[in-house]
Amino acid sequence: MAEDPSVGPSKGKLKGSKGNAGKTWRSVSQFILIFLVLIAVTALVLWLVYNPHKPKFSLVNAAVFDLNTTSPPFISTTLQFTIVARNPNDRVSVYYDRLNAFVSYKSQMITPQMILPPLHQYKDSTVSFSPVLGGVAVPVSLEVANGIVMDMEGYGLVQLRLVLQGRVKWKVGPIKTSYYDLYVACDMLLGLKKGIVGQVPLLGISHDRDQDHHGCHVDV
């Protein structure tokens, strides 16, 4: 008696037990995505070896080559500062990007922003750089123009702020963090009188609990 061909060997054993249950559910979803990428690369290498310290900045030198006011009012100035950046981390290097610098007086910019090159700072290292800022007349308020003239002619002291802005990230071995915003403010009191050019004394640098011993506040 002829066999019923529809019976067949269990329809290919249910098509190989449905592809061996989706190849065991794709090897348990590739072992739960390689155990959640090794627990996010061991919590980003234990948050880059116990949480890295933010860099420290110091202002060590200042020179003034030009500082004049003109109508309507404008300020024309050329200033140079020597800044020291220190990476206090023993195991972590630091990358700086999109850096720019400018000088302000009474919260108003008196130099245009200057773009600085990217910087890679090795672990536990110190670098210095001396940007020259200004060179272009900047429009300011009458209060700022009169204030600078009065400070120079009346007191021989001018309080300025050097500002650095950009991005920073940290690196341990092959692991890098994403970029974080960086803001550095160095408040200074310059001994400066009208007509004097060249290096000028840093007579006072303001201090608060968020600043390092050379007066630069660092916010990341």
- What residues form DSSP beta bridges with 129? 83
For residue 126, give every residue at least 6 positions away whose Cβ sits within 8 Å of its Cβ, in sequence order, or none: 84, 85, 86, 87
Whole-Å CA distances, 31 to 24, 26, 215? 11, 9, 52
Q: Which of 35-44, 104-113, 158-167, 190-199 shows the lowest per-residue confidence on average (mean pLDDT)?
A: 35-44
In this prediction, residue 210 has a pLDDT band, given cuts at 50, 70 and 90, of: very low
Query: How far is it, in rounded angstroms, from Cα 117 to Cα 96?
Result: 9
Mean pLDDT computed over every residue of the chain: 84
Can you say how many angstroms the Cα of residue 82 is from the centroid of all Cα atoms in its chain?
A: 18
Between vectors from CA 97 to CA 58 and to CA 111, what angle results, nearest 5°?
Answer: 60
In this prediction, residue 173 has a pLDDT band, given cuts at 50, 70 and 90, of: confident
Query: How far is it, in rounded angstroms, from Cα 218 to Cα 26?
Result: 49
pLDDT in tens, 87-117: 999 888 999 999 999 999 999 999 999 999 9
Give the pLDDT mean for 133-156: 95
105 three-class SS: strand
Residues of the chain with CATH 2.60.40: 56-219
Is the pLDDT confidence value at 11 over 60? Answer: no
What pLDDT does residue 52 have?
84
Q: What is the model's pTM?
A: 0.75
Query: How far is it, in rounded angstroms, from Cα 72 to Cα 102?
Result: 22
What pLDDT does residue 208 have?
47
Q: Which of 31-35, 42-46, 121-125 shows the lowest per-residue confidence on average (mean pLDDT)?
A: 42-46
Helix, strand, coil share (%) of the chain residues, nearest 5: 25, 45, 30
Mode of pairing for the β-strands spanning 114-115 and 93-105: antiparallel
What pLDDT does residue 94 have?
96
Residue ranges of alpha helices (H) inside the chain are 10-50, 142-150
Q: Which of 14-18, 76-80, 92-96, 101-105 shows the lowest per-residue confidence on average (mean pLDDT)?
A: 14-18
pLDDT in tens, 186-204: 999 999 988 888 999 988 6
Give Dmax over CA atoms of the chain in angstroms: 123
In this prediction, residue 176 has a pLDDT band, given cuts at 50, 70 and 90, of: confident
> Which tokens in the block code for residue 26?
């794709």
Q: Which of 185, 210, 189 is nearest to 201 (CA)?
A: 189
> Which tokens in the block code for residue 168?
């920073």
Query: How far is it, in rounded angstroms, from Cα 52 to Cα 55?
Result: 9
In this prediction, residue 54 has a pLDDT band, given cuts at 50, 70 and 90, of: very high
What pLDDT does residue 145 have?
95
CATH architecture, domain defined by 56-219: Sandwich (2.60)
